[in-house]
Amino acid sequence: MTRDVVVTVHDAGGKLRQFLAAFATACAGSGGSSGRFVLALGSTMTSDMPGISAAGATPRLRRLTPRTDAEALVLGRTADGHELPVSPAGIVSPVVITRAVTVSMSLPVAVVDCGSFEPPRIPCLTVGREVAGCVSSGRALEPRTVETLFQSGLALGQQLSLRDSFLIVSECTPGGTTTALGVLTALGYDAQRLMSSSLPQGDHELKAKVVRQGLERAGLSPGAAADRPFLAVAAAGDPMQPFTAGLALSASRRIPVMLAGGSQMLCVWALMRAIAAKESLGMSCGAVGVVTTGWVAFDRSARCPELARLVDAPMAAACPDFNRSRHPGLRAYEQGHVKEGVGAGGAMAAAVLSNTLDARGLMEAIDDMYDELVTVRTAECAVPWNGRPAT
How sure is the predictor about 28, in pLDDT bands with cuts at 50, 70 and 90?
Answer: confident
Per-residue pLDDT tens over the stretch 101-122 = 999 999 999 999 999 999 999 9
- Looking at residue 32, its pLDDT comes to 63
* CATH code for the domain of 176: 3.40.50.10210
User: Within a domain: residue 388?
Assistant: no
User: Within a domain: residue 232?
Assistant: yes
Q: Say if residue 130's pLDDT is above 60.
A: yes
User: Within a domain: residue 300?
Assistant: yes
Given a contact cutoff of 8 angstroms between Cβ atoms, the answer to whether 275 and 248 are in contact is: no
User: Within a domain: residue 1?
Assistant: no
User: Within a domain: residue 354?
Assistant: yes
Domain limits for position 64: 6-375
User: Within a domain: residue 249?
Assistant: yes
- Looking at residue 4, its pLDDT comes to 81
- Looking at residue 360, its pLDDT comes to 95
Q: How many domains does one find in the chain?
A: 1
Per-residue pLDDT tens over the stretch 172-203 = 999 999 999 999 999 999 998 898 766 555 57
User: Within a domain: residue 381?
Assistant: no
User: Within a domain: residue 242?
Assistant: yes
Specify the pTM.
0.92
